[in-house]
Amino acid sequence: MADDRPAWARRMYNERQARGWSQADAIRAMRAHSAKELPGTSSLLRQYKRWEAGEVTPREFYQPIIAQTFGTVTHAMFPVAPKRDADADILAVTGMDTLELVSRLQRSDLDQATLDGLRIMADRLCSEYPYMPSDQLLTEGRSWLRRVADFEGQRLTLKQHREILTQAGWIALLIACVEYDSGDRQAAETTRQAAQSLGMEADHAEIKAWAHEIRAWIDLTTGNYHGVVAAARTGIEAAPRHSVAIQLYRHLAEDRLAETLASEVIQASTDFDGTERAPMRLAEARITLGVVAACQGDLEQAIHYGERALSAPRKSLPSLLMVSRDLTRVLNDQYPNEPEAQAYLDQLHALTP
Mind listing the pLDDT tens digit for each residue in 141-178?
888 887 777 776 667 788 888 888 888 888 888 888 88
Mind listing the pLDDT tens digit for each residue in 281-324?
778 778 888 888 888 889 999 999 988 888 765 555 555 665 67
Do residues 16 and 124 share a domain?
A: no
Mind listing the pLDDT tens digit for each residue in 71-117?
776 766 776 644 444 445 444 444 444 445 445 444 445 667 767 77
224, part of any domain: no
Report CA-CA distances (Å) from 331 to 42, 221, 293, 310, 345. Answer: 47, 20, 11, 16, 8
Q: Which domain holds residue 23?
A: 7-77
Do residues 276 and 185 share a domain?
A: no
Do residues 41 and 85 share a domain?
A: no
Query: What span, in angstroms and rounded, lies between the C-alpha atoms of 181 and 174?
Result: 11
Do residues 52 and 92 share a domain?
A: no
DSSP 3-state of 276: strand
Question: What CATH code is carried by the domain that includes residue 11?
Answer: 1.10.260
Do residues 165 and 181 share a domain?
A: yes
Do residues 259 and 326 share a domain?
A: yes
Mind listing the pLDDT tens digit for each residue in 45-79?
999 999 998 888 898 889 989 988 887 767 667 76
Do residues 129 and 187 share a domain?
A: yes
Q: For residue 59, give the amino acid letter.
A: R
Q: What average pLDDT does the chain have?
A: 76
Given 25, 49, 77, the domain boundary residue is 77
73, part of any domain: yes
Letter string b/e over residues 157-185, b meaning 16 or more CB atoms within 10 A of that residue's CB: eeebbebbbbbbbbbbbbbbbbbbbeeee
Alpha-carbon torsion angle 298, 328, 353, 232, nearest 10:
110
pLDDT at 322: 57
pTM for this one? 0.50
Do residues 34 and 95 share a domain?
A: no
Given 77, 109, 125, the domain boundary residue is 77
Do residues 306 and 349 share a domain?
A: yes
Do residues 91 and 63 share a domain?
A: no
Do residues 93 and 183 share a domain?
A: yes
pLDDT at 102: 47
Say how many domains are in the chain.
3
Report CA-CA distances (Å) from 198 to 104, 194, 250, 351. Answer: 23, 6, 26, 36
216, part of any domain: no
